[in-house]
Structure 1
Amino acid sequence: MTSILSNNYFVHFSNSGYLKFEEFLEDFKPSKCFILVDENTRNYCYDNFVTKLSKQYPFEIIEIPSGESFKNLETCNFLWKKLTDLGADRKSLLVNLGGGVITDMGGFTASTFKRGIPFINIPTTLLSMVDASVGGKTGVDLGVLKNQIGLFSNPEMVLIDSNYLETLSPRELLSGLAEIIKYGLTYDIQLWNEIKTFKSLTVSNITPLIYISIAIKNEVVSEDPKENGLRKILNFGHTLGHAIESYFLESKDKVTLTHGEAIAVGMVMELYLSHIKFNFPLNLVEEVKNKIQDLFGKVEISSTDFNAIIDLLIHDKKNINGNVNFVLLNSFENCELNCTVENSFLIDAFNYYII
């Protein structure tokens, strides 16, 4: 696959990506090279990574616990201290080998350590490949509030190897599909048409869509790096989705959702809001709802949960002057930005999802 040029860095693919990685090491000559992993990527991905290289390198492994609950400043503080203890300087390199938590937090840690050291992202989940590989967003959560602390900072390069997807559970693989569906509904309906044919999700049927998804996100981000206009379409499904994800994360009697599961719910609900506000065809809302629930199952949301989830919307990063802003659709590939929605319509959307 041809490398994709993003904002001042390349996304490289498969075996050529490892060659580019080694070329970077030879050219940059880092004083030290640290590999950030969690216990899963340490056990299932690290050995695959080093065996793809032509020779051994003196990597220092830094391991943190896996999971969204560790994506916080406390973990960053551990990482900053660890880098300090291991003698990292401004010529050091941090390689983030993992999913979205690792690449988001690793990028943030590197970008703030000694006012910034270079980092490389090697995403190992479908979600991080199609979502976090381009765009330059780094950050951590503030309590249960998603990505409240962060900054825009680009890696030196990104290496995409779909072989890492073989290490994922079916649930984690499915989580990344939600972002691909988002690209299809908002930007390239052919992606959605392809996904509609899936009887099940496998690495083989999803791999061809990875390159297309990254190329789409790169087109959007290259035109609007700081999310002033077009890039906002990438938030479709995320306003409600993030609130649902946060609510399930903090609720003691709820099973924590994956990011993709929450975004899938958010997309169904925001499509229904699109029907209410902009006459998006109800039969197409039904089509998307049925396929998403066929693939993801149905999340159990009670009417007693509605108001608590709505209360979390006030913390969404897209809000301006206290207004909660949604991305809604007039039709497939035709988005309306900065839409405000009455609470009564939000309740209607919840009720639509749960029936």
Structure 2
Amino acid sequence: MTTAPVFNAIVGQKHATRLLKTFIRNGTLPHALLFTGDEGVGKKTTATAFAMACNCLKLKSAIRHHRSPLDVIDACGDCGPCRKIAGNHHPDIIRVAPQSSVIRIAQIRTLLQTLTLKPNEADRRVVILSDAQAMNPEAGNALLKVLEEPPDRTLLVLTARQTSDLLPTIVSRCQHIRFAPLGAADIKRLLAATGGMKPETAEAVAALCGGSYTRAVQLIDSRWLNRRDWIIQVMGSQMADNGTLGIRAWLAWSEMLAKKKDRIEESLEIITMWLRDMLVFSTDPQRVLNQDRLEALSTAAKQARQTQLLQQIDAVDRALTALRSNTNARLTLDAMVLQMAGACIR
């Protein structure tokens, strides 16, 4: 990941960029690519770098005259097409993204209409369809038409979290490239480049973000850290009493979680992270994500049983799945905390 959309500036995705460079050097470009991986690992940036490399005038000339080694297969960033693509105003680099969290059939129909026309100026027209998992079924089926009969000089790049989020017929028509989570060292280096951050803060955030630079940037926000600390404090109180606080206390917590509707999923991810750390702390402290809260974690881990933690993690996972299916948030959270409370009773 980088702000400069060229292969050699992308952090932590050597396997993906090496494959793409090989396709370009050998002239074996697939008509459709599917990039999968967590948000914030470089999929969209790599898609832009790919579009630039496919249309870079200097790279095209270099490949025509000799077989270049892979480490020099990259866009120059200076020619006309490179500058236009980097500036997001190239007429033949088409970007499709969710509108209000959904990619609708109208967007795909508009794309199909555009693709009936020849590219304006690009050697290779590139369609970058971000967050393809957001396509509704109608949009997904409509996209199949262009995947089955790709227009001349047109490449499609889809990005998604995982293949299971897409129609199998779409996945089968794409060359799949998996993007790995970024390493903690890569995250720390990217955060350091932003400036003004203490090394200990960067280290804590790099451990917590799960290999996602996007999530790391979100975690820098003091509101996230304050919310995490509040959740840790409440969970410590709830679980230390082995359920004796009563159901009302757990339901009161559910009510507080539900008040911040736009942060419910984030809160459940924090809860899962803390429960997971409690589970692994006694056997492998080095794998703990909340490295900056080891003292509190040590106390919490002594108060919980393995079976209890597994049951609570399962309750949170079920709640997350239900919320992503648009169930009633308050009822879902009530069910979750009741299950968590029940797991505390010895």
Instruction: State TM-score, norm by structure 2.
Output: 0.34
Relative contact order (C-alpha < 8 Å, sep 6+): which is higher?
2
TM-score of the superposed pair, with normalisation by structure 1: 0.34
More strand by share: 1
